[in-house]
Amino acid sequence: MVETPNFNMKKALLCCALSAVFAACGSSAEQQVAASAAEVPVAAEERVPARLIHSEDVKTLAIGSQAPDFTLPGVDGKTYRLADFSSSKALAIIFTCNHCPTAQAYEDRMIQLAKDYQGKGVAVVAVSPNDPLAVRLDELGYSDMNDTFEEMQQRAKDKGYNFRYLYDGETQAMSAAYGPVATPHAFVFDKDRKLQYAGRLDASEKPGSANAEDLRRALDAVLAGKAAPEPTTKTFGCSVKWSGKREDNVKTEEKWAAEEATVALIDKEAIRKLVTAKSENLRLINVWATWCGPCVSEFPDFVDISRMYGGREFELITISADKPEKKDKVLKFLNDKNAAAATNYLFSEDDKYALIEAIDPDWQGALPYTILLKPSGEKVYAKQGTIDPHEMKKAIVEQLGRYY
């Protein structure tokens, strides 16, 4: 199989990072997690952390501890330090992220919490602790985005966040100092910035079933000058994606790269049945051709989408409009693009207008063409021309759901 440039880049980054770990093996554990956070985030694929951080190296901050300082970029373009919140009577730091279904289930509660405590002297700050290169594609099945800084900015805009949202995915130094175990994980500090509470927002993940009662009780106690009634709780959610998990990501991509794609011939009648028949899955159908430049350039986006949602009730179906005698060329292309996760077809007839009518009578004939079908066969998305990957993922996750 052919390794993609992105795959080779990730493998090179991992090798560089491991070399840095070995060079620093004489350093203390404290030194390994004390690297300063950069004020301007660098694209994830362009940087290598000074040291890889593993979950077993991180301990949750103890109650009564002083809040560790930090310097982190916010999605609003500003850089924030602990001292920037010194005027607040209480500080709530919530470690959360874009992709985790549990974190997404708590977004509206976080927005309401920030609104309710805005006039009470409470600063609510969200921090994304995850290294984007430590997140596998198949871990993104409940979201339309990863945890990069740019995608954090988009998520904050989409949801209308009314609190600061900071990025710690570049070095994870601040997160390693605080020690969240899952997203979301809340930490409440008093006016002297001593930790008074660490744990869950509430005991019920399902949206609408709770209102961050545990976190609110801790904040109310701190504002009243009292100890939190229950200083620590367990917290359910997605594990923090520490940079040490990058190796797992690389191994997964190696496994995918070794898989063989297949392609089968399909005629107009079989296509018509494919499109109209009921299914257990949400179906994304992309019609393309090896000679179509836009088709070729966007095809990797469909492969990523198939990896993201393939573990759910979802199926990517590709149909090549190449001539039937070009089957070997089509198969080579599919293998070059690591498209083994998709169900791939090649139209078996010369009449391309029959293909158009079989796929969708509303299609005017230009390639590429993409439709999204509900299990019932109802069309919920159609695009002639190249897709917007974020728009496409958003349409998919809106149908599949963002929560368990």
For each successive 10 residues of the chain (404 residues), what is the average pLDDT? 45 43 38 41 56 94 98 98 98 98 97 97 98 97 98 97 98 98 98 98 94 98 97 97 95 96 98 95 98 98 98 98 98 97 97 97 97 97 97 97 91
> What is the pLDDT at residue 404?
82
Beta strand 122-128 with 164-167: parallel, antiparallel or unpaired? parallel
Question: What interhelical angle do 5-23 and 246-258 show, nearest 10?
Answer: 150
Residues with Cβ within 8 Å of residue 297, at least 6 apart in sequence? 386
- Beta strand pairing call for 122-128 and 282-288: unpaired
- The model scores a pTM over 0.95: no
Enumerate residues 6+ apart whose C-beta is below 8 A from 94: 110, 124, 125, 126, 127, 184, 185, 186, 187, 201
Of 316, 275, 295, 296, give the one whose Cα is nearest residue 368. Answer: 295
Comparing C-alpha atoms, which of 353, 359, 351, 350 is closest to residue 318? Answer: 359
Domain positions in the chain are 5-247, 259-400
Q: What is the pLDDT of residue 16?
A: 42
3-state secondary structure 100-111: CHHHHHCHHHHH
Q: Is 5-247 a CATH 3.30.420.40 domain?
A: no
What the block records as the tokens of 33 is 């997690």
For residue 78, give both structure tokens.
């500003």
CB atoms under 10 Å from CB of 187, counted, come to 25
Measured distance CA(369)–CA(360) in Å, rounded: 10
Cross-strand pairs, 343: 317
Q: What share of the chain is helix, strand, coil (3-state, %, to 5)?
A: 40, 20, 40
The domain 259-400 is classified under which CATH number: 3.40.30.10, 3.40.50.2300, 3.30.1390.10, 3.20.20.70? 3.40.30.10
- Fold matches, 5-247 and 259-400: yes
Q: Peptide bond preceding 294: is omega within 30 degrees of 0, i.e. cis?
A: no
